Amino acid sequence: MKQHREHPLGVPTMPGSRATPARVEHGLRPARVTALDRLLVSRLAKAMGSPAVAYALWDGADAYTPADPTETVGRITFRDRRALISSISSPELGFGDCYSAGRIGIEGDLVRVLFASFRAMAIGGHMAGKRGLFGRLPKPQVNSRDRSRKHIRHHYDLGNDFYRLWLDDNMVYTCAYYRSQEASLEEAQLEKMHHVCRKVRLQSGMQVVEAGCGWGSLAMHMAEHYGVRVKAFNISHQQTVYAREQAEARGLADRVEFIEDDYRNISGKYDAFVSVGMLEHVGKDNYKTLGDVIHRSLKRGGLGIVHSVGRSFSAPPNAWLEQRIFPGSYPPSLREMLGIFEPHEFSILDVENLRIHYAKTLMEWLRRFDDHVDEITRMYDESFVRAWRLYLGGCAAAFLASTIQLYQVVIAHPDDNRIPMTREHVYGRDGPDWNL
């Protein structure tokens, strides 16, 4: 199943090292732990806001333990000096790469350990959003049309068989919407799709355009349940192929067209503009362009929705995530998102924050991922598995710690008075809407 000549993450090994996790653990003997190493650990713990997590070194002994041992949720072990130095000098990229390579171990529940770390950093740390003392900022990635295609394929073309192992049946790879805590992932993804459709008030016969459609689940859902026609854009080849097959199999091919093309090439006029989980990949420099696309493609009287990971304030993206998992990605603050809408004076009708829903979604993905960990290791390798567990668990923890948010933003053209008067239609209330 390996489909890449290069390693899909581009990181199984550390620079200057060919050690695999097994060799780090059982082969090369790390240098002796010194007093300086222990001092560095205690400095690191302080800079991290003194999290409720123990830090151990390659001799197996804890070099930092939380003030209240009863609150300790786990242990992070630096298995060699370079892993420690890398984590200090580059707490995102260095730590992530070393963890992926097995040079850092995490004991305890992964999400809880990372959550404790992020929360401590947010409250009392001074390394949040920093690259570390000696770290250089990675070069920002530019999302030209060619680069976007490369970036998207890096992640989404890892293989449909891989994603099928741990996503829901409909292959929805965005934040679910849990109306109750007991809902299954499948139910919550269906609810999310209905939630989006209700927010843009889909009606039978409408023309809808979707920018960034993944494996096509939402496009097909809209056509099947709301009687609309959909043009759905995506630059992932594998996703598009899969989506077309599904639409054919479900008898929806006459109503849903999957187009393997960039959102910037959207043409035509639509009653609704839908984009769920694409904005993260658009990049700040292109927000004005995305706004232009929405402006020219959304009919007056139509509603648009943009659903995206975001932040409560502007900050550089996590360097490891941006370099290794989602190249070219950037979670915007709400302020930055307004850069899409303000130039065309779009009216912001509704913003909802679903961050805890994404935490729950990611924890469920991680659980299913872990159920298939042997299979995934055979498909890729152990460092891939470690990186993906760090990504899924780390994002769950970041949503829980409010480091990242999930925004759904509903917009309308300026001075369009056919907007929904209330949001009761989203919550299943009957009764005709009103207008002036």
CA-CA distance, 392 to 142, in Å (whole number)? 24
- Per DSSP, the three-state class of 202 is coil
Sort strands 54-56 and 75-78 into parallel, antiparallel or unpaired.
parallel
97: nearest Cα among 80, 118, 75: 80
Alpha-carbon distances of 384 from 112, 215, 403, rounded to whole Å:
21, 22, 24
> Residue 368 contacts by C-beta under 8 Å, 6 or more apart in sequence?
165, 166, 167, 185
CA-CA distance, 175 to 189, in Å (whole number)? 8
If one asks whether residue 423 binds a copy of itself (CB under 8 A), the answer comes out as yes
Q: What is the DSSP letter of 333?
A: B
Q: Report residue 315 as tokens.
A: 């900050």
Stretch that binds a copy of itself, among 21-29, 235-243, 382-390, 401-409 (CB under 8 A): 401-409
If one asks whether residue 292 binds a copy of itself (CB under 8 A), the answer comes out as no
Report, in angstroms and rounded to the nearest whole number, the Rg of the chain calculated over CA atoms. Answer: 23
If one asks whether residue 338 binds a copy of itself (CB under 8 A), the answer comes out as yes
Q: Which helix (H) or strand (E) holds 407?
A: strand 405-412
Stretch that binds a copy of itself, among 40-48, 80-88, 115-123, 224-232 (CB under 8 A): 115-123
Exactly one of 173, 263, 346, 388 binds a copy of itself (CB under 8 A); that residue is: 346
Q: Report residue 377 as tokens.
A: 């290791």
Per-residue contact flags (x/-) with a copy of itself for residues 381 to 400, judged by CB under 8 A: -------------------x
If one asks whether residue 181 binds a copy of itself (CB under 8 A), the answer comes out as yes
Exactly one of 6, 68, 374, 415 binds a copy of itself (CB under 8 A); that residue is: 415
If one asks whether residue 112 binds a copy of itself (CB under 8 A), the answer comes out as no
Exactly one of 79, 360, 386, 389 binds a copy of itself (CB under 8 A); that residue is: 360
Q: Site for a copy of itself (CB under 8 A): how many residues?
A: 56
If one asks whether residue 299 binds a copy of itself (CB under 8 A), the answer comes out as no
In this complex, which beta carbon is closest to a copy of itself, that of residue 356 or of residue 373? 356
In this complex, which beta carbon is closest to a copy of itself, that of residue 65 or of residue 312? 312
Exactly one of 257, 349, 370, 372 binds a copy of itself (CB under 8 A); that residue is: 349
Q: How far is the CB of 188 from a copy of itself (least distance, A)?
A: 11
Q: How far is the CB of 359 from a copy of itself (least distance, A)?
A: 6
Q: Report residue 157 as tokens.
A: 């073309």
If one asks whether residue 430 binds a copy of itself (CB under 8 A), the answer comes out as no
Question: Do residues 211 and 293 make contact, with C-beta atoms less than 8 angstroms apart?
Answer: yes
What distance, in Å, lies between the first and last C-alpha atoms of the chain?
Answer: 59
If one asks whether residue 295 binds a copy of itself (CB under 8 A), the answer comes out as no
If one asks whether residue 203 binds a copy of itself (CB under 8 A), the answer comes out as no
In this complex, which beta carbon is closest to a copy of itself, that of residue 132 or of residue 420? 420
Q: Which helix (H) or strand (E) holds 63?
A: strand 62-64
In this complex, which beta carbon is closest to a copy of itself, that of residue 119 or of residue 389? 119
420: nearest Cα among 201, 204, 192: 201
φ/ψ of residue 197, rounded to 5: -65, -40
Task: For residue 377, count other CB atoms closer than 10 A to its CB.
Answer: 14
Stretch that binds a copy of itself, among 21-29, 143-151, 307-315, 384-392 (CB under 8 A): 307-315
If one asks whether residue 89 binds a copy of itself (CB under 8 A), the answer comes out as no
CA-CA distance, 423 to 24, in Å (whole number)? 56
In this complex, which beta carbon is closest to a copy of itself, that of residue 85 or of residue 315? 315
Site for a copy of itself in 158-177 (CB under 8 A): 177
CA-CA distance, 22 to 401, in Å (whole number)? 32
Q: How far is the CB of 184 from a copy of itself (least distance, A)?
A: 14
Tell me the angle at which helices 355-371 and 382-400 cross, rounded to the nearest 10 degrees. Answer: 160
- Residues of this chain that interact with a copy of itself (CB under 8 A) are 119, 122-123, 177-181, 312-314, 333-335, 338, 341-343, 345-353, 355-357, 359-360, 363, 400-403, 405, 407, 414-417, 419, 421-424, 426-429, 431, 434-436
